[in-house]
Structure 1
Amino acid sequence: MAVGGPLAREARGQAGGAPPFWRAEWPRTDFSRSDVPFTEIMSGGVPRDGIPALSNPKFVKARAERRLSDKEPVITLELKGATPRAYPLRYMTWHEIVNDSVGGRPVAVTFCPLCNSGITFDRRLQGRVLDFGVTGKLRNSDMVMYDRQTESWWQQAVGLGIVGEFTGQSLRQLPSWMESWEKFRARNPEGLVMDQPGAGRAYGRNPYAGYDSSTRPFLYRGEMPPHGIKPLARVVKVGTRAWPLDRLRAETRISEAGVTLSWEAGQVSALDSAEIAQGRQIGDVRVRDAAGRDLPHDVMFAFAFHAFHPKGTWMLR
């Protein structure tokens, strides 16, 4: 999200609860219900839907796609009984949420560039199918989503309702992972890849050039991670445990706490160079259980893990 926005005005308004202009912008949101202090939520510099979420995207066959570079990152979703799908970060960086249906299952594929958090959720909750958009607000530098049915607000990094009717409710996270386009295509030549949206963005460009080499996160006021871990170092989050990516990269395979993590050379960072395809190598991570099944996880920045799991376990050695 871009620097700017009514940050000071928003902070002043939050002292006594939800600012009045929030209520004007979000007349259907129940601000009487919240699990977090409003002072923790701030403008990311864009208005509601200023980052336009996508719905019902178009796809093309993997073998026919020619616009993506081999090492570009994609979010892979391989659900049982459904054709595998890839969602390129060159598009996700500009849209952050894709409302899709895969094998009859409504899903939300999400990516928060400021946390490097790429998570896929089941959109069904309490007998309803939710459609998600971007509020334009941040908490702990992480995207705050909203559902269009109740206009409740949701924390992307943990899939938790934080304001409104669905406060305290959790979305079910589905197994998905980031990997290079080359790996997805080689494994799934008949798979599907999201087609380029028609929104006229600079797809393939990184609007956050150099971000994952920064010393501090953007619009983050919380504690930095412990153990001398750099705030924008990547960690593999599984539940409330975090494995530093540097450790996994050095060992290539780790079996601990009932899960097996593996690393291979592959994708480049989407948050490094101005051109995503030219980013530095970070590699591909898979997380599986003892039976070899893919597990829900996230490869996020260390500061975000610490912010949302302050009592989480750091798997250092």
Structure 2
Amino acid sequence: MTLKTLLAAVALAGALAMPAAASPEFWKSEWPDTNFDITNVESWTEILSGGPPKDGIPALSDPTFIDAAAESRLGDREPVITVEFDGETPRAYPIRYLTWHEIVNDEIGGIPVAVTFCPLCNSGLTFDRRVDGRVLTFGVSGKLRNSDMVMYDRETQSWWQQALGEGIVGEMTGMRLEQLPTWMESWAEFRARNPGGLVMDQPGWPRPYGANPYQRYDSSRRPFLYNGEMPPHGITPLARVVRVGDRAWTMERIRTETPITEAGVTLTWSEGQASALDTAEINAGKEVGTVRVRDAAGNDLPHDVMFAFAYHAFWPEGDWMLGN
């Protein structure tokens, strides 16, 4: 069975099982400490099983790092999530690892962070893990909503929507994580700018790091395990868009018009970054390029490079910045 066939079978099985399974009564044996009486989810049928159970995709905590100059396993075009805090050594978190773990709980300069990546939405976000004076540690629930990863915190067992950084089930419902200004770029870009930087070392799990288990996903006609509306304006569901707040620019427009300065932000595009969701080997993926988002003073801004269907699902009234 090919991976594509397997994913289709899992999607069909999940869709068929959902009407009976989408209920706290069904989930409580696995989530006995989650308060399902508190939620902002309108219907439990919005939440689907992605296949793996709770922690079936193992989030990482306290990763180890090596000098960028000593890293020889990463291809130049492979994407990494870059975290650069003032006064701290820049760090790169390779997507080849996040593809298999989705969340890395770390601490940089006294700031507890969660570096996250949802392959099904291409959403790579970094959050401050502090909420109301508490430091939370995040894991992967195995659930999806609008095809986006539902995270959970180990302290209260509340569920969180990764794309929003918002609690959606349990004690933390309605709470928001602060999104930090990080970005996705190629390994070569990070290394050239930060020769003295650090890169997350390969985790000690038996995974085929560097391989893409979602081959040709970003060329698919439809998203995986998604039943919502498709994006407007003729934009294909798996086209990449850059979200800043509740506004979105298509990657294609940024690529062809770079730089774009609108709504108080400047967006630039540069060549060299491979898609992590195309070919079997991540480094050989098609060109998607790197986008940087800055304010008028040149400061990096929090943003997300996500698929158009996910933006429309979570920001249905959002502004599509289509230009003239």
TM-score bucket of the superposed structures, by smaller chain: over 0.9
> After the TM superposition, which residues 1-317 of structure 1 pair with which residues of structure 2 at under 5 Å, given as runs?
3=7, 4=10, 7-14=15-22, 18-36=23-41, 37-317=43-323
What is the Cα deviation at residue 6 of structure 1?
5.4
Distance in 2, matches of 1:8 and 1:149, equals: 33
Distance in 2, matches of 1:277 and 1:137, equals: 28
Distance in 1, matches of 2:14 and 2:226, equals: 16
What is the Cα deviation at residue 20 of structure 1?
1.9
What is the Cα deviation at residue 80 of structure 1?
1.3
Distance in 2, matches of 1:252 and 1:182, equals: 21
What is the Cα deviation at residue 10 of structure 1?
3.9
Residue 33 of structure 2 aligns with an amino acid whose one-letter code is: R
Contact 1:211/1:271 (<8 A) preserved: yes
Contact 1:83/1:103 (<8 A) preserved: no
Residue 90 of structure 1 aligns with an amino acid whose one-letter code is: R
Residue 29 of structure 2 aligns with an amino acid whose one-letter code is: A
Superposed CA offset, 1:276-299 (max 9, x none): 010011111100000000000000
Contact 2:121/2:307 (<8 A) preserved: yes
Q: Which blocks of at least 5 consecutive residues in structure 1 are unaligned? A: none
Contact 2:14/2:50 (<8 A) preserved: no
What is the Cα deviation at residue 242 of structure 1?
0.3
SS in 2 for 1:79: coil
Give the structure-2-normalised TM-score: 0.95
Give the structure-1-normalised TM-score: 0.97
Distance in 2, matches of 1:157 and 1:228, equals: 23
Distance in 2, matches of 1:289 and 1:40, equals: 35
Residue 213 of structure 1 aligns with an amino acid whose one-letter code is: S
What is the Cα deviation at residue 7 of structure 1?
4.9
Q: How many residues align?
A: 314
| Percent identical | 69
Distance in 1, matches of 2:21 and 2:47, equals: 11
